[in-house]
Amino acid sequence: MYQKSVLDNGIRVVTNEMKGRESLALGIWVAVGGRYEDDKNKGAAHFLEHILFKGTKKYACNEIKERIEGVGGSLNAFTSEEYTCYFAKIPAQHLETTFDILSDMVLAPLIAKKDVDKERTVILEEIKMYRDLPQYLVGELLDELVWPDIPLGKRLTGTPESVGAMSHKDLKSFHRQHYAAGNIVVTASGKIAHSSFVSLVRGRFSQGERNRLASFIKFQDTQQKPKVKFFRKETEQMHLALGSIGLDSSHSDRYALTLFNIILGANMSSRLFSEVREKRGLAYAISSGVKYLKDTGLFTVRAGVDNNKITEALKVILSELDKIKKNGVTKSEFTRAKDYYLGQILLELEDTLEHMFWIGEATVSLDRIRTLQDVLKEIKKIDLMDIKRVAALVLKREKLNVSLVGPLNDQQEKQIRTLLAVGS
């Protein structure tokens, strides 16, 4: 049972009471992420997320963690392209203390110079770590190809230059600009009473002023031919990412694309897993994925491939994409994909934390709550031809992008360019 209230200053409060639970998941969502930055402050949203754990006017750094973990709870946060979320899962009787800590982190962080200077070193090491991990690096390279020259295509952690130059004053300014009432959603799922929780939120957040949501650079798709990006690195395995523009989070074909993704590469019974790994042994890891954003989206295929078999693996992947565009999918594949998707949702929504993520992401992104019944209704509308149509929409050969990390030689590079009809 979802309930939503909006405070006078614009803060949205959404709860989901789950009968028979003794746990409670809380989330404070802020509508700011990597795409709201520019080259100068790239990585600010992620940097600020780190700093909010370093202490507030009321709670010291160690106290934040000890108060929640000391009662068996867990505390964490993440930053995405479009929002940042601070969350905790706790035994329900510790609601007030936990919410007081989370809200103080968001509203009254110290953002002290000494903490920023110390954490800067940590984040610079994090940037190096991701650069050293080919499975992450290949994804960053793909983002640069798909969304060139805008913040959306640049790494969430920022660059050594942007993070190195960011001061505590810069982060305080970023916090003042974005961590205001109109940008905040507060969610709770589990053993919770909506009216009392709204009173709790109002008691902490009533002073915040409503603000206008910040804008970001919208993506304009001008791609007219395939693109590639290679990063030569001595690795034991070649890491491949193939991607194209997908659909935005409000698109009417979103669920059709989700089912298409499941059929193609989202699990072990998918076409890519069966053809690339099981039948041919070309890869250990092979999967596809989708990402939905406010004005754009991303469809990807990712694989870890034997260094000597990269060309063959890519050829097979492209062949499978062509087959599904030309012939569509079978009725049994379609039925399995629907059952898999709905089954996964049911399993996730049994958990208080996953259910909190479900309602929070929908509210901060779309300002609406999706119910399971809403999803069932949308899934029932989809037929086999919708899957074929969506496949043709997102798999246009001229819109494909391929990034690759590994010990690529000149011959392999030439073969890959030829496969994609990309000039040197």
CB of 230 closer than 8 Å to CB of 402: no
Residue 221 backbone dihedrals phi, psi, to 5 degrees: -85, 110
CB of 328 closer than 8 Å to CB of 384: yes
Q: Can you tell me the distance from the alpha carbon of 279 to that of 270, in angstroms, rounded to the nearest whole number? A: 12
Q: Can you tell me the distance from the alpha carbon of 334 to that of 141, in angstroms, rounded to the nearest whole number? A: 32
Give me the residues paired with residue 300 across strands: 243, 289
- Alpha carbon dihedral 127, 131, 133, 137, in 10-degree steps, equals 110
Instruction: List the one residue out of 272, 257, 285 whose CA is nearest residue 395.
Output: 257
Other residues' Cβ atoms within 10 Å of the Cβ of residue 312: 15
Other residues' Cβ atoms within 10 Å of the Cβ of residue 110: 19
Q: Can you tell me the distance from the alpha carbon of 110 to that of 284, in angstroms, rounded to the nearest whole number? A: 46
Q: Is 125 a catalytic residue?
A: no
The active-site residue out of 49, 82, 119, 140 is: 49
Active site members:
49
